[in-house]
Amino acid sequence: MSGHVSPKRVYYAIFGALMVLTIVTVYVATVNLGRLNFPVALGIAITKATLVILFFMHAKYSSRLTKLFVGTAFFFLLVLLTLTMSDYLSRGLKTYPGGAAGSGYGERTPTPPADLRRGKEEGGRERTEH
Amino acid sequence: MAEALTAHGDHGGPHAHHPALQHHFDTLDQQHEAATLGMWLFLITEVLFFGGLFLAYMLYRVWYPEAWAEGSYQLNLTLGAINTVVLIGSSLTMAFAVRAAQTGLRKATVGWLIATMLLGLTFLVIKYFEYAEKFEHHHVPGSNFSFPGPHGDQVQIYFSLYFLMTGLHATHMLIGFGLLSVIAWMAHKGRFSEQWSTPVEISGLYWHFVDIVWIFLFPLLYLVDRAHTPVG
């Protein structure tokens, strides 16, 4: 006996959904949403990954133990990311308003410095898109 | 016990079993479940392997947002997007290869596996051209790195992570290519059937995992900071 056999149309539907999400994420990237660009792109990526795991990797149809293993991977990834980031992002919270992010490490600047833009024009950097 | 041992010796009689069934498993189902779990266990370590690099990416991105915006603007969005489509397409053909193996279609299995390998190869060729562009523009970290503006050193960190993450991903693609060529050969030899297609399935798990890594690499490296740099 082998694992679950899905009808072909399920795979086509998932592939279609993944393509649509890819187009959406590329389009959204051209719109300046400020701080929202990151969570939106990450949300779409997580949705795509979930579709792949559930349907292409058959996690939806596997045993509870296998599902637990799948969950474990992302649980520990989350531990790694949140614990470390909460440490780094909260450093200087008491000494600088806004914490480490406001401590001069980097305020988000929507426009790059003038000399960079000049460098681009003079250097004639080739852009393949646009 | 002695009876079982002799029965296993000639693979015939009342104790005959599937040739793929290993002696430490009771049934093919049990063997399938163990192999699937083993593969997922390996993938957990892979998630954390790449996770370390994603962590470095996120941390430096918080510290140097300007450098991240400038660096990601240098990446070729068109090639990155094409590669995303190619790789997700290869996941579709891989899913079909697994399905063909599960339903005992030998030729279709080999065909879909070769299609998957070709798409994987297409991805790597496109990646090669992207890397070549980076060498031309001196965007490869090291003594020849140069980037205008005050954030040059920080942009070099961005490109270090770019090459580490995409390079590690490409290495996984190469390993996957080798894995699938072995599996395709085994399928060609008729080693899989409706009763036993687990090797194709767990190779599929690996291939899909590599696809998932790219699903995250593409927006993080190419997309998230692009809108924050005005089009020059």
Does pLDDT of A104 surpass 70?
A: no
Nearest to B149 among A45, A77, A116 (CB): A116
- Å between B94 CA and nearest CA of chain A: 9
- Å between A94 CA and nearest CA of chain B: 18
Does pLDDT of A71 surpass 50?
A: yes
Dihedral class, residue A69 (left if φ above 0, else alpha if ψ from -120 to 50, else beta): alpha
> Do B88 and A101 count as a contact with CB atoms less than 8 A apart?
no
Round to whole Å and give the CA distance between B82 and B73. Answer: 17
Average pLDDT over residues A68-80: 95
B216, closest residue in chain A (CA to CA):
A45
Token pair 């008729």 is found at B190
Q: Where are the domains of chain B?
A: 28-228
**What tokens were used for B216?**
């995250």
- Å between B18 CA and nearest CA of chain A: 10
Q: What was the pLDDT predicted at A101?
A: 52
Does pLDDT of A103 surpass 70?
A: no
Token pair 């899989």 is found at B192
> Do B47 and A66 count as a contact with CB atoms less than 8 A apart?
no
DSSP class per residue in B5-41: HHHHHHT-GGG---TT--TT-SSHHHHHHHHHHHHHH
Q: What was the pLDDT predicted at B232?
A: 43
Q: What was the pLDDT predicted at B12?
A: 53
What is the mean pLDDT, run by run of 10 residues, along chain B of 232 residues? 45 69 90 95 96 96 90 94 97 97 96 98 97 94 89 93 97 97 96 94 97 97 82 45
B152, closest residue in chain A (CA to CA):
A116
pLDDT digits (tens, 9 = 90+) for B32-57: 999 999 999 999 999 999 999 999 99
> Do A29 and B99 count as a contact with CB atoms less than 8 A apart?
no
Q: For chain B, how long is the longest CA-to-CA vector?
A: 80
> Do B99 and A6 count as a contact with CB atoms less than 8 A apart?
yes
Round to whole Å and give the CA distance between B54 and B57. Answer: 5
Of the residues B92, B109, B217, the best mutation for testing chain A's interface (the one with the most A CB atoms within 10 Å of its CB) is B92
Q: What was the pLDDT predicted at A34?
A: 83
Round to whole Å and give the CA distance between A79 and B57. Answer: 16
pLDDT digits (tens, 9 = 90+) for A21-51: 999 999 999 888 888 999 999 999 999 999 9
Percent of chain A with pLDDT over 70: 70
Average pLDDT over residues A79-99: 81
- How confident is residue A1, by pLDDT bands cut at 50, 70 and 90? very low
Question: What pTM was estimated for this model as a whole?
Answer: 0.85
Q: What is the mean pLDDT of chain B?
A: 91
Q: What was the pLDDT predicted at B139?
A: 93
Q: What was the pLDDT predicted at A2?
A: 60
At a CB cut-off of 8 Å and minimum separation 6, what does B57 contact? Answer: B161, B165, B220
A107, closest residue in chain B (CA to CA):
B65
Round to whole Å and give the CA distance between A7 and A26. Answer: 30
Does pLDDT of A120 surpass 50?
A: no
Q: Where are the domains of chain A?
A: 8-64
Of the residues B191, B211, B223, the best mutation for testing chain A's interface (the one with the most A CB atoms within 10 Å of its CB) is B223
Rounded to the nearest 10 degrees, the angle between the axes of helix B198-217 and helix B28-63 is 10
A29, closest residue in chain B (CA to CA):
B223
Task: Report chain A residues whose CB lies below 8 A from the CB of B78.
Answer: 128-129
Nearest to A80 among B55, B96, B205 (CB): B55
CB atoms within 10 A of CB B60: 18
Return the DSSP state at B229. Answer: S
Fold classification of B28-228 is Four Helix Bundle (Hemerythrin (Met), subunit A) (1.20.120)
Q: What is the mean pLDDT of chain A?
A: 80
Q: What was the pLDDT predicted at A130?
A: 45
Q: Which of B123, B85, B112, B94 is nearest to B205 (CA)?
A: B94
Q: For chain A, how long is the longest CA-to-CA vector?
A: 65
- Å between A93 CA and nearest CA of chain B: 15
Cβ–Cβ pairs < 8 A, chains A and B: 203
Length of chain B: 232
Return the DSSP state at A31. Answer: S
Q: Are the C-beta atoms of A15 and A55 separated by less than 8 Å?
A: no
Round to whole Å and give the CA distance between A14 and A55. Answer: 7
- Å between B13 CA and nearest CA of chain A: 21
- Name the CA radius of gyration of chain B, rounded: 23
Rounded to the nearest 10 degrees, the angle between the axes of helix B152-188 and helix B28-63 is 170
Nearest to B63 among A18, A105, A116 (CB): A105
Round to whole Å and give the CA distance between B50 and B38. Answer: 19
Q: Are the C-beta atoms of B22 and B196 separated by less than 8 Å?
A: no
> Do A2 and B215 count as a contact with CB atoms less than 8 A apart?
no
